[in-house]
Amino acid sequence: MTLSFAIIAALIIAAATAAMTLRNLVHSALAVAIAFAGLASAYLQLGAQFVGLTQILVYVGAVAILIVFAVLLTRGGEAPEKSVFSASWFWGAAIATSVFALLACAINHSFASKRALPPQPSATVEQIGQDLMTKFVLPLEVIGLLLTAALIGAVIIAMRDESPKSKIEDGGSKMDKTSGPSSILHPPSSSGGHQ
């Protein structure tokens, strides 16, 4: 166990713990970005340069910003006056602790704790690109399709929907008036329905 691993592990553990315990959501988002950056340095330490840089690009760059946007759009920036933990926090903490104890026990008794150190494998970007374009080309296409579908779905879910009542009236009574959003059309269409 080297010094660099100890530093990286301490950084990741401290940042992840802070992200899960801080009251302010913006502080949590910042802490989780630090945890993601620490994980990227762990990947670099393990010799997976491409994955480390992808982690920085996707997680520190995109997901952290997405989380901050969600915090701001839901006005969660101010710390709540009530407890931030749910009523059943004790059972959640107990389950998490027992899961960690089980995993640590399994790791300590497995072959991983006495395995000899193999030489550093090489994973150049050229090799990864070759494999992505030959052996893994079908998963690559599927993941592209999945990303497209997921992002379109996310936009549709988060889009502001007009109330179902005005939609029914628009569709039922005023088919000829197609210009303008339904919120502008709503008063004349409802009065037309009553006459």
Partner 1 sequence: MTPLAGYLLLSAFLFAIGLAGALTRRNAIIVLIGIELMLNAANLNFIAFWRYGANPEALTGIMFVIFAIAVAAAEAAVGLALIIAIYRHYKTTNVDEMNSLKG
42-81 positions binding partner 1, by CB under 8 A: 42-43, 46-48, 50-51, 54-55, 58-59, 62-63, 66-67, 69-71, 73-74, 76, 80
Residues 78-97 that bind partner 1 (CB under 8 A): 80, 83-89, 91-93, 95-97
Q: Does residue number 123 form part of the binding site for partner 1 (CB under 8 A)?
A: yes
DSSP symbol at 74: T
Contacts of 107 by beta carbon, 8 Å cutoff, 6+ apart: 113
Rg over alpha carbons for the chain, rounded to the nearest Å, is 26
Residues 18-47 that bind partner 1 (CB under 8 A): 19-20, 25, 28-29, 32, 35-36, 39, 42-43, 46-47
Which CB atom, from 93 or from 184, has the smaller least distance to partner 1? 93
| Cβ atoms 123, 50 nearer than 8 A | yes
Instruction: Give the count of residues interacting with partner 1 (CB under 8 A).
Output: 85
DSSP symbol at 118: P
In angstroms, how far is CA 195 from the centroid of its own chain? 52
